[in-house]
Structure 1
Amino acid sequence: MTGYASVQAALGAGDGASVLMLELRSVNSRFLDLVLKVPDAFKPLEGKLRQSLAEQLQRGKVELRVALRETGAGAGALDVRALQQLHWIQTQVQNWLPDARALSVAEALQWLQSRAPQEHGLEWTPELERAVMQAIAALKHARASEGARLKAILLEKVDALREWVAKAAPLVPRLVEQQRERFLERWKEALASASDANGTPPVEEREAQQRALTEATAFAIRIDVAEELARLTAHLDEVEHLLGQGGAVGKRLDFLMQELHREANTLGSKSALLELSRISMEMKVLIEQMREQVQNIE
Structure 2
Amino acid sequence: MTAKPNTDHHPIFSMTGFAASESRFPAGLLLIELRAVNHRYLELNVKIEDSLRQFEPQVRELLQRRLGRGKVECRLSLKSDTITSTLALNPAMVTQIAQTLKDLQQHFPQAQPVNLVDIFKLPGVLQTEAVDGDALAQSVQSGLVHAIDELIAARQREGEKLKQVLLDRLQGVREQISIVKPLLPQLIQQYQDKLTAKLREALQAEDDRVRQEMVLYAQRIDVDEELARLNSHITEMDRILAAGGAVGKKLDFLMQEMNREANTLGSKSVAIETTRVSMQLKVLIEQMREQIQNIE
Q: Per the shorter chain, which TM-score range?
A: 0.7 to 0.9
Contact 2:247/2:295 (<8 A) preserved: yes
**Distance (Å, rounded) in 2 between the aligned partners of 1:28 and 1:170:** 41
Q: Gapped runs of 5+ residues in structure 1?
A: 96-101, 195-200
For residues 125-184 of structure 1, the C-alpha deviation after alignment (integer angstroms, 9 at most, x for no partner) is 454323212211110001111111111111111111111111111222123323433454
Say which SS state the counterpart of residue 4 (structure 1) adopts.
strand
What's 2:264 paired with? 266
Distance 1:79 1:37, change over 3 A: farther
Q: CA RMSD in A?
A: 3.9
Higher relative contact order (CA 8 A, sep 6+): 2
Deviates more, 1:21-30 or 1:181-190: 181-190
**Distance (Å, rounded) in 2 between the aligned partners of 1:278 and 1:56:** 46
How far apart are 1:123 and its partner, in Å? 9.7
What's 1:69 paired with? 79
Distance 1:189 1:148, change over 3 A: same
Aligned positions of 1:234-273 closer than 5 A: 234-273=232-271
Residue 173 of structure 1 pairs with residue 173 of structure 2:
no
Distance 1:244 1:85, change over 3 A: farther
What's 1:221 paired with? 219
Q: Which of residues 128, 131, 137 in structure 1 aligns to 2:143?
A: 131
How far apart are 1:249 and its partner, in Å? 1.0
**Letter of the structure 2 residue corresponding to residue 7 of structure 1:** S
Q: Gapped runs of 5+ residues in structure 2?
A: 1-14, 108-113
For residues 215-245 of structure 1, the C-alpha deviation after alignment (integer angstroms, 9 at most, x for no partner) is 5433322211111111112212222222222
Contact 1:25/1:62 (<8 A) preserved: yes
Query: What is the identity percentage for the equivalent residue pairs of Structure 1 and Structure 2?
Result: 40
Q: Which of residues 146, 165, 174 in structure 2 aligns to 1:162?
A: 174
**Distance (Å, rounded) in 1 between the aligned partners of 2:242 and 2:123:** 52
**Distance (Å, rounded) in 2 between the aligned partners of 1:3 and 1:176:** 50
| TM-score when normalising by structure 1 | 0.74
Contact 1:179/1:220 (<8 A) preserved: no
**Distance (Å, rounded) in 2 between the aligned partners of 1:284 and 1:232:** 12
| TM-score when normalising by structure 2 | 0.74
**Distance (Å, rounded) in 1 between the aligned partners of 2:97 and 2:180:** 80
Residue 47 of structure 1 pairs with residue 45 of structure 2:
no
**Distance (Å, rounded) in 1 between the aligned partners of 2:68 and 2:95:** 46
**Distance (Å, rounded) in 1 between the aligned partners of 2:236 and 2:49:** 46
Aligned length: 269
What's 1:99 paired with? none
Q: Which of residues 265, 278, 281 in structure 2 aligns to 1:280?
A: 278
Aligned positions of 1:200-211 closer than 5 A: none
